[in-house]
Amino acid sequence: MVGVEDPQLPVSGRAVTDEEQRDVTERFSQLNDELVAGETLPWVAPTLVAKTEAAVSAYAEAYGAGVGEDVREQCLKPVVEAGWDVPSR
């Protein structure tokens, strides 16, 4: 599975490989088999493995300074508006 904690990952991230794409597709196929009749699980396969270390560190600093909620909102707003895939880790 794609890992975002890879220290060799470039700051700008990297493209998802064909093997990783197949792995994600297989995992979601397995999830789809578990759905209740009529239930759907919308998803889009990721195209980028993001480097999240800097963003997480910055948020931790903002949280410690008492402005974490403001920073989180400002950081996530453009991501959500653009419809980007956001990992939950």
Q: What Cα–Cα distance (Å) separates residue 63 from each residue in 8, 13, 19, 67, 70?
A: 27, 24, 37, 6, 9
Its sign, for the CA torsion 41, 78, 6, 15, is positive
* C-beta of residue 52 within 8 angstroms of C-beta of residue 4: yes
* C-beta of residue 4 within 8 angstroms of C-beta of residue 89: yes
- For 46, residues 6+ apart whose C-beta sits below 8 A from its C-beta are 2, 16, 24, 85, 87
Domain residue extents for the chain: 1-51, 52-89
Q: Tell me the pLDDT tens digit for each residue of 13-53.
A: 788 899 999 998 999 889 888 999 999 888 888 888 877 77
Q: Tell me the pLDDT tens digit for each residue of 55-78.
A: 788 888 999 999 988 888 887 787
Q: Say what the pLDDT of residue 8 is.
A: 74
Other CB atoms within a 10 A radius of the CB of residue 14 amount to 14
**What is the model's pTM?**
0.50
Q: Say what the pLDDT of residue 38 is.
A: 92
Q: Say what the pLDDT of residue 2 is.
A: 47
